[in-house]
Structure 1
Amino acid sequence: MDDQNKNLILATALSFLVILGWFFIFPPEDVAVDPNASSPSVAQTDGSAVLPPATTAPTSIATPAMVAETRATALAENTRLKIETPRLNGSISLTGGRLDDLSLTTYRETLDAESDNVTLLSPVGTDNAYYALYGWAPSGTLTYEQVPGANTQWTLAQGDTLAPNAPVTLTWDNGAGLLFSRTFTVDENFMFTVTQKVENASGTAQRIQPYGIVARHGEPEIEGFFIAHEGVVVMADGVLSEIDYDDMPELPNVAREAANAEVSEVGANGWIGFADKYWMTTLIPDGATPFTSVVKYVPSADIYQTEARLQPVDIAAGASAEVTTRLFAGAKEWEEIKSYEANGVYNFIDSIDWGWFFFLTKPIFAVLHWLNTIIGNMGWSIIALTLLIKALLFPLAYKSYVSMAKMKELQPRMEKIKEKAGDDRQKLQQEMMELYKKEKVNPAAGCLPILLQIPIFFSLYKVIFNTIELRHAPWIGWIRDLSAPDPSSILNLFGALPYATPEPGSIFFIFSLGVLPIILGVSMWLQQKLNPAPTDATQAMIFAWMPWVFMFMLGSFASGLVIYWIANNIITFIQQYSIMRSQGYKPDIFGNIKSGFQRKKATEGDKK
């Protein structure tokens, strides 16, 4: 392996270390927000509707002087109807007809079986209120008071509990000849269907525009790690866009919207909403329906808002009109997202953050999911996936390991050439190339598998970090969450001492080595011993320390990723050792070559 290729590997490894170190030592800052700011009013407009921010109800307007209410208090302020499904629990407020109370009954906040269910949506008045709101925007002679909005008091007309196969209907009469109704249905997972209808008995034709809003008060708590997108997701005409929360205040100031906003027209195949790492709330108009997508931030109210404004509807006197949209509110489960995509939600699988290497992350997860359906354990499925990847790369690896074995055998002769050449680098390179040519060795052959492993590693890291299927997934013994670091620690002798260890996120957590990181370091060291050492003393020292540096750096990585790397190292070691033996080279873990024939050949070559 020549200096150029060694430098390439070294630069790649060091760049990886620098990136990891930077994000561990200088994590993205959390932006302080004031979730209690009040909402401004927006004047009525004619023509194409401009919606106000999703305002609070008069009984729960938050001001800077008020303390955020408890969830129970906020829920008790309004009349509600229950939501009960196999996977969801919550309620709809009759004030505004808002879907603002939703918990995921199959997910808990922590591994503790008694911990609270994950809360997705919360009512106004609580910290980080988060809800979906539907309505009609006025046009012509109508005013906002004559159409249903954020504070409209709806009446329950049908049903008392929203459940699968049990829809509920709300109604509201504006007192001027327009009767509005809103019907909610829900499936057994995470998809709501909302049908809005208006009957015109006013005696004159009316023109109004239906819309849906998903609003968040204040910037939510996010992990803020570069590997996962958390914020707005927009699918517009088949093209996905992502906007982070901290980028929304930087959107253009649109006076007509009274906010910082991005407004765009979607011809077909669109949806819009907010995606967290594992959860999502998304407005989904009919795939063939054009609509206006709006991403909005209202500075004075600190409200983050996404809107789907459908086309205006003209309703003749005595006629009626209705529109139907869907709302996804739940966990970003691959299998469920795929099923919704099959039922008409265009490219919905892209709501999961697959990253730049999507052409690798998507098939990698698909295979991992398939293996898990067979094995029933994500940890063993990761190991099985590693075996498949290594089998796929074996033809290339075989050539690489044969070349590396020859390079290992040539090491003594390369050292002597270096001693003879001294500081004459041109002579050194010439003699090295002559040696490679004579022995038919390609020094670059050993680099390609390493370079191929880099995108595979990052793709699997993306999969393990972002997909909910790894969240709280156990492996064996003490590894109860493959998406979290190994909880064991060398700092308390793996539980033998009664001392707490640094929490994840602390800069000192990197030194809290668990069992898996230690095994990783040893496996990297063993694998490294089969590779030819760099002829440069400085490079050799750096490479010698690399397994132990990685051991500390990856100690705070997800256990699933560390399991993959351990399995990869062990399989690589077995493959490489076996191939070297098959070629007549008999290395031991200390790098000694015991083939007398090869040693004799090298000696004769030196004499020449």
Structure 2
Amino acid sequence: MDDQNKNLILATALSFIVILVWFLLFPPPEAEPTDPNAPAVTESVTEGGVANTPTAVAGASEVQNTEAEEANAPRIDIDTPRLAGSISLLGGRIDDLQLKDYRETLEDGSPIVHLFKPVGEENAFYALHGWAPGSGLGIDDVPGPNTVWTQASTGTLTPDAPAVLEWTSPAGLLFRRTIAVDDDFMFDITQEVVNEAAGTVALAPYGIIARHGEPADAKNFFILHEGASIMADGELTEIGYGDIVDLPVVPSEGAQAEVLQVTENGWIGFTDHYWMSTLIPEPGSAFRAASKYNATRDIYQTETVLPTVTVGAGQTTEVTTRLFAGAKEWETIREYEKAGVDRFIDAIDWGWFFFLTKPIFWVLHELNKLIGNMGVSIIVLTLMIKAILFPLAYKSYVSMAKMKELQPEMEKLKEKAGDDRQQLQQGMMELYKKNKVNPASGCLPILMQIPIFFSLYKVIFVTLELRHAPFFGPFQDLSAPDPTSIFNLFGLLPWGAPEAGSIVALIFIGILPLLLGISMWLQQKLNPAPADPTQAAIFAWMPWVFMFMLGGFASGLVVYWIANNTITFTQQYLIMRSQGYTPDVFGNIKSSLKLGKGKDKA
């Protein structure tokens, strides 16, 4: 390996180590605990058109019911193939939702994932819909977050049986809300107003998703977006929980807010690591999207407000919007996108390298459908990536083999030039030109591997399909760190392994990190150690440093790296041997075991 390649690898490795150490020593701060039941703040309401939206803003902040009222409120049960829960007739909130297909952990008896929770419970999280009053109406003339609705339908909400809620206002308006749900995670919310009064009224339909406090399971990790996601006419805006807290106060909103006007297509909601709740107006509809934070009650809120509608005496109007509340499954979200939800697949956090993460995930997903094992699929994906990069790798290793052949002549040049670096560089360039050797060609495979590695890391960490995905034996969750440990002799001793992510777990590493370190060490031995003692020492320690640093990474990523190292070793050995240079692997190992006292073997 020539000096330029060594320097590039060294710089890349050290940069990667610095990043890892930084995030281990200086993790993002945890959110301070807050009281979700603190007294509410009543906000002012103005009249006239869509400007009345502070009423919608106050919806989440004005939930003032006691725990007893919340507990005793009538409810409509929800039962679908994939969802369970209920709707509270107090405010008509969808505030109790469980995902039947997903459990919190892999342990037997682990509870089902609870997405929405009613007010009064820790980290309350819910969706509510309503109307903001315009001309001719007061705040008591429209249903609010504390309005008690009447169930006009019978029985449980199912894909075959919508739930119908009704309420008549003092002004003589009949409000009807029809809630339908499909077999997956999408609700259709149809809000209807029947004007049975004498005059004309104006009002604006809205939808709200409110979250009391930052989610308890928030990762707060730089590679993952958690918080508000807004799609506005093809442009995605992501605002993390920490950034929502820092939003400026918008007087017209009565809160800290970020407001976007959507002219045709869009959606807004909260995205977590694996789950998502999103408000989706009908395609082609204009609306106002807002992300807000109520500091007094520590409530995060996203909302959609549609244009004001005018309803004359004896007239009826209705508006239908949708609510997605469920798991960020790629196939499910893609089907909703095909059905008209603009760029809905971008609700998954693909990152800056989306042009790599999307195709990498698609190939991995399709391989898993064929093979039925995500770990094996990662290995096959690695083979495919190495096959695509093989032409570059071939040129690189051929160049490295030729460089080895030129090693004696390069040593003569060094002796002849002495301390004259310029003369040495000129002599080496002439030597390369004469023998048609490009020393920079060895950099290309390394440069290509860097974005691929980070893209695969993103895919493994972010996508739901890797959550609880099994490999074999003890490796039942490829999105989690290696569960084995030297501490209990990889499960042979009767006590458990240290908690994943702890310092003890990093020290007493598992099987996969060990294999990673060994594979990197063997790959290194394809080349003699550098002549410079400092470089030799750094390269000697590098596999073991990476072994410990990556021990806490997702085991799926470690599987990829082990497979990549193994394939790279095989490729390099065979290609260099085909060029007349046979790497002295065992000789280099013996040399390294002598701590650099022996001479490198060519």
The alignment's TM-score, normalised by the length of structure 2, stands at: 0.93
The range that moved more, 75-84 or 89-98, is 75-84
Does structure 1 conserve the Cα–Cα contact (< 8 Å) formed by 2:226 and 2:271? Answer: yes
> Paired residue for 2:10?
10
> Paired residue for 1:30?
30
> Paired residue for 1:55?
61
Does structure 1 conserve the Cα–Cα contact (< 8 Å) formed by 2:4 and 2:439? Answer: no
CA displacement 1:522-560 (0-9 Å, x = unmatched): 111122222464443322321222111111111111011
In structure 1, C-alpha distance between the alignment counterparts of 2:574 and 2:32, rounded to whole Å: 57
> Paired residue for 1:512?
508
Q: What secondary structure, in the 3-state scheme, does the structure 2 residue paired with 1:445 have?
A: helix
Supply the AA of the counterpart residue of 2:484: S
Does structure 2 conserve the Cα–Cα contact (< 8 Å) formed by 1:405 and 1:531? Answer: no
Supply the AA of the counterpart residue of 2:181: V
The alignment's TM-score, normalised by the length of structure 1, stands at: 0.92
Q: What secondary structure, in the 3-state scheme, does the structure 1 residue paired with 2:515 have?
A: helix
The range that moved more, 486-495 or 186-195, is 486-495
Shift of 1:266: 0.5
Does structure 1 conserve the Cα–Cα contact (< 8 Å) formed by 2:40 and 2:64? Answer: no
> Paired residue for 1:606?
none
Q: What does 1:9-408 correspond to in 2, within 5 Å?
A: 9-34=9-34, 35-47=36-48, 48-49=51-52, 50=54, 51=56, 52-55=58-61, 57-60=63-66, 76-221=71-216, 222-408=218-404
> Paired residue for 1:503?
499
Q: What secondary structure, in the 3-state scheme, does the structure 2 residue paired with 1:553 have?
A: helix
Shift of 1:197: 0.2
In structure 1, C-alpha distance between the alignment counterparts of 2:69 and 2:111, rounded to whole Å: 18
In structure 2, C-alpha distance between the alignment counterparts of 1:293 and 1:591, rounded to whole Å: 66
Shift of 1:6: 3.3
Supply the AA of the counterpart residue of 1:192: F
In structure 1, C-alpha distance between the alignment counterparts of 2:150 and 2:291, rounded to whole Å: 31
The aligned length equals: 583
Question: In the alignment, does 2:419 pair up with 1:447?
Answer: no
In structure 2, C-alpha distance between the alignment counterparts of 1:551 and 1:218, rounded to whole Å: 37
Does structure 2 conserve the Cα–Cα contact (< 8 Å) formed by 1:408 and 1:531? Answer: no
CA displacement 1:354-397 (0-9 Å, x = unmatched): 00000000000011111111111111111111111111111111
Q: What does 1:551-570 correspond to in 2, within 5 Å?
A: 551-570=547-566
Shift of 1:27: 1.4
Shift in alpha-carbon separation, 1:75–1:399, aligned structure 2, 3 A:
farther
Q: What secondary structure, in the 3-state scheme, does the structure 1 residue paired with 2:585 have?
A: coil
Shift in alpha-carbon separation, 1:532–1:46, aligned structure 2, 3 A:
farther
Shift of 1:500: 4.3
Q: What does 1:525-604 correspond to in 2, within 5 Å?
A: 525-531=521-527, 533-590=529-586
In structure 2, C-alpha distance between the alignment counterparts of 1:10 and 1:558, rounded to whole Å: 24
Q: What secondary structure, in the 3-state scheme, does the structure 1 residue paired with 2:367 have?
A: helix
Supply the AA of the counterpart residue of 2:368: N
Q: What secondary structure, in the 3-state scheme, does the structure 1 residue paired with 2:261 have?
A: strand
Supply the AA of the counterpart residue of 2:267: W
In structure 1, C-alpha distance between the alignment counterparts of 2:410 and 2:587, rounded to whole Å: 15
Shift in alpha-carbon separation, 1:24–1:426, aligned structure 2, 3 A:
same
Supply the AA of the counterpart residue of 1:105: K
Shift of 1:320: 0.5
RMSD: 1.9
Does structure 1 conserve the Cα–Cα contact (< 8 Å) formed by 2:65 and 2:146? Answer: no
> Paired residue for 2:458?
462
> Paired residue for 1:424?
420
Supply the AA of the counterpart residue of 1:128: N
> Paired residue for 1:599?
none
Does structure 2 conserve the Cα–Cα contact (< 8 Å) formed by 1:74 and 1:125? Answer: no
Shift of 1:258: 1.7
Does structure 2 conserve the Cα–Cα contact (< 8 Å) formed by 1:56 and 1:124? Answer: no
Structure 1 vs Structure 2: percent identity of aligned residues? 65
In structure 2, C-alpha distance between the alignment counterparts of 1:546 and 1:305, rounded to whole Å: 47
> Paired residue for 2:596?
none
Shift in alpha-carbon separation, 1:516–1:372, aligned structure 2, 3 A:
same
Shift of 1:497: 3.6
Shift of 1:312: 0.6
Shift in alpha-carbon separation, 1:393–1:55, aligned structure 2, 3 A:
same
Supply the AA of the counterpart residue of 1:37: A
Shift in alpha-carbon separation, 1:170–1:589, aligned structure 2, 3 A:
same
Q: What secondary structure, in the 3-state scheme, does the structure 2 residue paired with 1:292 have?
A: strand
Q: What secondary structure, in the 3-state scheme, does the structure 2 residue paired with 1:446 have?
A: helix
Supply the AA of the counterpart residue of 1:39: A
Does structure 2 conserve the Cα–Cα contact (< 8 Å) formed by 1:404 and 1:532? Answer: no
Aligned counterpart for 1:494 among listed residues 474, 478, 490: 490
